[in-house]
Amino acid sequence: MANVGARFEDYVAELLSRLGYKVLGRRVKVVVNDVEVGEVDIVAEDGSGVKYAVEVKSGKVDVSAVRQAYVNAKVLNAKPLIVSRGFSNDSSKALADELGVSVINLEEAVVLTVDELRTVVENVIYEAIGDLINTMFTLATKSCDQRVRAIMGAILECGDWNCVCAKLNVGGDDCGALISDVKRELGLGNLSLSKLKTAIRLYNLVALLMNSCNREGVRN
């Protein structure tokens, strides 16, 4: 789901607009002495003309995120602002208060209408289905490869990649290389093992049904 992060930033940009901010830029480079040192997710301006360097976090804010927001905003001559799901602990909140880093808590700020909630859920479902279909198509094109078939079988029997490697008699540093090779060869990206297992089961089911139909056709 490579586009999830970008869509989340789109949603936050829309939220900022609803809260009275004007979005001036997206993914703005942070440059020091002609050297790029970072990137700010959003640069926005409030109703008083005050500029903010906005960091978008889908989870909770830790101390490292607070420092990053503060430094990037300092370089851009803006005020630091983080949009997240709150603080991960008291230390991150204390540092944010000390450095003047504002935090908008999504759990408090976001109120979705029924239609908006339906759209969000539909998008997630459609994307998940799309990922499964793409993976199943790739499996179909590779299924004649004995190595791929062996990997598919191991994945169905295992709950983690270490188990998969053990089933295939691959250990040590070679296990990481195997995982990278499998993901690259099947075009999986960041698809989790559990989702890959689901895709393999669906592929096997479809293949079984098609073979059954073909046998019926031959008899008739």
Tens digits of per-residue pLDDT, 85-118? Answer: 888 889 999 999 999 998 888 776 655 565 665 7
State yes or no: pLDDT of 52 exceeds 90: yes
Sorting pLDDT into bands at 50, 70 and 90, what band is 2? Answer: very low
Cross-sheet strand order for the sheet of 102-105: 22-32, 35-45, 51-56, 79-84, 102-105
C-alpha angle 4-8-12 in degrees, rounded to nearest 5: 170
| From-to residues of CATH 3.40.1350.10 in the chain | 4-109
d(CA 220, CA 214): 10
| Higher local confidence (pLDDT), 84 or 179 | 84
Sorting pLDDT into bands at 50, 70 and 90, what band is 43? Answer: very high
pLDDT at 154: 86
Over its C-alpha atoms, the chain yields an Rg (Å, rounded) of 24
pTM exceeds 0.85, yes or no: no
State yes or no: pLDDT of 210 exceeds 80: no
Sorting pLDDT into bands at 50, 70 and 90, what band is 148? Answer: confident
Of 110, 112, 38, 109, the C-alpha closest to 80 is 38
Q: Tell me the CATH architecture of domain 4-109.
A: 3-Layer(aba) Sandwich (3.40)
Q: Kindly state the percentage of the chain with pLDDT values over 70.
A: 84
State yes or no: pLDDT of 139 exceeds 80: no
* 55 three-class SS: strand
Q: Kindly state the percentage of the chain with pLDDT values over 90.
A: 15
Contact yes or no for 61/86 (Cβ under 8 A)? yes
